[in-house]
Amino acid sequence: MSGHSKWATTKRKKAAIDAKRGKAFTKIIKEITIAAREGGGDPNGNPRLRLAIDNAKSVNMPADNIERAIKKATGELEGVTYHELTYEGYGPAGVAVVVEVATDNKNRTVAEVRHLFSKGGGSMGENGSVAWMFDKKGVVTLPKQNKTEDEIMEIILEAGAEDLQTEDEYYVVQSAIESFEPVRKALLDKGLTVENASLQWIAKNFIRVTGEDAEKVSKLIESLEDCDDVQNVYTNADIDESSLSN
């Protein structure tokens, strides 16, 4: 899982910049809107909405923003209808890339994503072209909070978690989809703060990329993440961060 871990670390450092530009809020608002539209506006009866609200609170999103997004989704306020789509493709050095989007204009978004792949030295593929290289997993990120790996492991294994990674000042817990909510709840029940919890595409195997390829892959992924309609980007690239320019 080193490739995922290294990229997750890079993404977290970049998240502070994204938040200043409002991108973090925008992505969460879209997730709240989609969740409320599909499952209703009551988080008690809509697990996806409850999770989205928890993630919104973890980045200190104002309650008014959350409530407004829910009302737009349920028709109480006029709002935009977002469509969820997943695009797949290849980047430099043959790495696989999965892109999740939420858009109000499918034609605009597919054209932009295809352009970004091409500009970044890659190519967009058909549905299923690279998804088989990934598994959908539940991922929970939490600050260490003075807890040892053994203490966290004891909590999460009982709830059905599969893996625990240490990244800087964070723990990253991975689980099968069916164990995702029990694992998240077990951590919260112990009074621990969860920074983010989501379903993610985790590569089964990673491709090590170094030198110029590492720089190219990094730039492609960052350009995709900067696209307004893109929610998440996943790759099987294990990027050598020492190859990246500051």
Rounded to 5°, angle at Cα 193 from 190 and 198: 105
Region 32-37: mean pLDDT is 95
pTM value is 0.86
157-204 pLDDT tens trace: 989 999 999 988 899 999 999 999 999 999 999 999 998 899 999 999
- Does a structural domain hold residue 215? yes
Structure confidence at residue 18 as a pLDDT band (50, 70, 90): low
- Does a structural domain hold residue 228? yes
- Does a structural domain hold residue 244? no
Domain containing 89 equals: 83-132+206-239
Nearest-10 crossing angle of helices 23-39, 47-58: 160
- Does a structural domain hold residue 55? no
116-127 pLDDT tens trace: 999 999 999 999
Region 105-116: mean pLDDT is 97
- Does a structural domain hold residue 213? yes
CATH of the domain at 107: 3.30.70.980
Question: CA-CA distance, 99 to 86, in Å (whole number)?
Answer: 6
Which alpha helices (DSSP H) does 75-196 contain, by range?
A: 106-119, 149-159, 177-189
**Residue 113 DSSP code:** H
- Does a structural domain hold residue 119? yes
Question: CA-CA distance, 237 to 93, in Å (whole number)?
Answer: 9
- Does a structural domain hold residue 1? no
Domain count, the chain: 1
**Residue 43 DSSP code:** G
- Does a structural domain hold residue 114? yes
